[in-house]
Amino acid sequence: MSSAEQGDQRAVATTVPEAARKRAAIETYVRHEGALRRTARRYSLCADDADDALQRALEILLLKAPSDEPRELIR
């Protein structure tokens, strides 16, 4: 990712209200939870590791969601 693109993402993140970004992140997570869980399980040694990976993915999504548009979060 170029520095210009990173700057654009930071600008979007600061102009979109945090609550809206988190709401979109949670909606995206709920919509795709099954597929995310299956993928985490496929690449993990055990179910507990898969749950940890899924939890970490949600934490990252909540912290770094660049937009309040759910479609933008899965591009």
- Res. 59: pLDDT tops 80: yes
Percent of the chain predicted with pLDDT > 70 = 64
- Higher model confidence: residue 64 or residue 45? 45
Burial of 10 (0-12, 13-18, 19+ CB in 10 A): exposed
Distance CA 7, CA 22 (A): 20
Asked whether 62 and 54 are in contact (CB, 8 A), the reply is no
pLDDT at 22: 82
